[in-house]
Amino acid sequence: MKTLTKEIWVNTPQRRAIVSIHSEVERLVAESGVRDGIVLVNAMHITASVFINDNESGLHHDYEVWLEKLAPEKPHSQYRHNGYEDNADAHMKRQVMGREVVVAITDGKLHLGPWEHIFYYEFDGKRDKRLLVKIIGE
């Protein structure tokens, strides 16, 4: 069995951002030499997410609007957590969007649907954060 464990570091200049990590994950799958297996990609911070969906700016905008309605950033006073930091909304947005994705690897390539694309979603940026990529297979 082959394995590869790597970290991807991200630092967004704004508080919230959707960042494509698809090409980097593809590169790591190729580097691993795994032809048949799985890749796990997970955010290592509790105010960020990894998700799979369409690489379409309108959809990304819709996520922003929808999540802000579900867990508005302000007023900070609406959250008890904000006695420590002003990022309670970021924790809640992460809970909705999820922590990780697992993707099959077939013939050395990500085995995804025709419109599926891997993204990192930052909810409390402007600092270094990391993602774990773990690849296992033959």
What's the CATH number for 2-137? 2.60.120.460
Identify the pLDDT of residue 36. Answer: 98
Q: What are 32-52's pLDDT values in tens digits?
A: 999 999 999 999 999 999 999
Measured CA to CA in angstroms, residue 115 lies from 31, 54, 111, 122 at distances of 24, 5, 11, 21
Q: What are 86-124's pLDDT values in tens digits?
A: 999 999 999 999 999 999 999 999 999 999 999 999 999
Identify the pLDDT of residue 52. Answer: 98
Identify the pLDDT of residue 69. Answer: 98
Domain ranges across the chain: 2-137
Mean pLDDT of 46-65: 98
Residue 14 is which amino acid?
Q
* Distance (Å, whole) CA 104 – CA 99: 17
Q: Above 80 in pLDDT, residue 82?
A: no
User: The whole model's pTM is what?
Assistant: 0.95
Q: Are 117 and 54 in contact (CB under 8 A)?
A: yes
